[in-house]
Amino acid sequence: MRISSSVFEHLGKIPPCYTCEGANVSPPLSWHELPPGTKSLALIVDDPDAPDPAAPQRIWVHWVLYNLPADCAGLPEDVDVLPAGTREGLNDWKTTGYGGPCPPIGRHRYFHKLYALDTVLPDLKEPDRKALEQAMQGHVLAEAQCIGTYQKGD
């Protein structure tokens, strides 16, 4: 299974328009080669370098989606209508939806993690990352990630 973006390469720089210094819109994402038996997908975008890559203290969550349909091949730039059945979780701003990179210091890594699940999860309301990860336990068929980087002023 693979996940990628047409606007940044794996380990490449995320363009400013997808960050707090730009329009803060979600980047386009696409995925391929889902394993047989995939019933739904989950997407978590997070930053393990918060607040300072030289002394990380926490993982900052930027986006949580689950129950993306298995026949969905990706998300467009600045997605405003999610695929039917998709549910949103809470990011670390305690809201749903995408929140772009806005690192206070240094170059941070942003992990775009896709999970293929063997089930459609029940309505978890608006789970945070930990609650979604707990609900996915025992149901992950495969996972893939694409990492982008960003530092203010890029």
- Residues 101-136 have pLDDT tens digits of 999 999 999 999 999 999 999 999 999 999 999 999
Bridge pairing between strands 58-69 and 87-88:
antiparallel
pTM of the predicted structure, to 2 decimals: 0.97
Domains, the chain, ordered by start: 2-150 (3.90.280.10)
Encode burial over 92-116: b for 16+ CB neighbours within 10 A, e otherwise. beeeebbbbbbbeeeebbbbbbbbb
Length of the chain equals 154
- Residues 36-63 have pLDDT tens digits of 999 999 999 999 999 999 999 999 999 9
Give the CA angle between residues 97, 27, 87 to the nearest 5°. 30
